Amino acid sequence: MTLTAAADGSALGNPGPAGWAWYIDEERWAAGGWPSGTNNRGELQAVIELLEAAADVDDLHILCDSKYVINSITKWMPKWKLQGWKKANKEDVLNRDQMERLDALMTARDAADLSVRFEWVKGHSGHSLNEAADERARAAAEAMRAGRPAPSGPGMGTPNGATAEPTLTTPEAAATETSTVVVSCPLEVDLAEAIVSRARSAGRSPQELLADLIRTGWEARA
């Protein structure tokens, strides 16, 4: 399945307080920034962070509004690498540290046979993913200017439609409870009551029964 994400950077002054962000949906996005940077460094960092977060995604589709970023990764980077990350004038390529990190990430994806493709989208043109990434990158830059932490986002979070598996406390933790059983799931009250009721019927303590249930994978029923 293809995962599509937008990556963007923002700098207030260019250079100036800077931010980066990648965005998939409201449950999956991330952002950060520095006290000083450029738009290009912001967008390059957004791509780096996205590649790291989606390291196990089979088919990654990255939207960028910077042709410099896309061309650097897809066209110029192999030549720069052969030249020792130097330009024709023998000076380091711009943003060399980020280029080397991107090269390592792209090489790793290629070795793992994981697909990644880049698509240019026009910035500030109403593209929903690009606009969302831009808003978060700018918010990070503004946070840097104000001297406060940037909103970092949930990262990959929990994919849409997925629910966390309910978990019971360990027998050791349960043994510290005197009259209640702590259960971390949406139906924790009903489940706890079911465990207590079943324990009473069996003439056992809730803690003993809970330890057995954890070992056997029992699913509680009221």
Note the pLDDT tens digit of each residue in 64-73: 999 999 999 9
**What would the two tokens of residue 173 be?**
């933790």
Question: Which tens digits make up the pLDDT trace of 20-73?
Answer: 999 999 999 999 999 999 999 999 999 999 999 999 999 999 999 999 999 999
Rounded distance between C-alpha atoms, residue 152 and residue 29, angstroms: 8
Rounded distance between C-alpha atoms, residue 152 and residue 115, angstroms: 26
Q: What are the strands of the beta sheet with 28-37, ordered from one edge?
A: 28-37, 16-25, 2-11, 59-64, 115-120
Do the Cβ atoms of 139 and 19 come closer than 8 Å? yes
Per-residue pLDDT band at 198 (split at 50, 70, 90): low
pTM across the whole model: 0.71
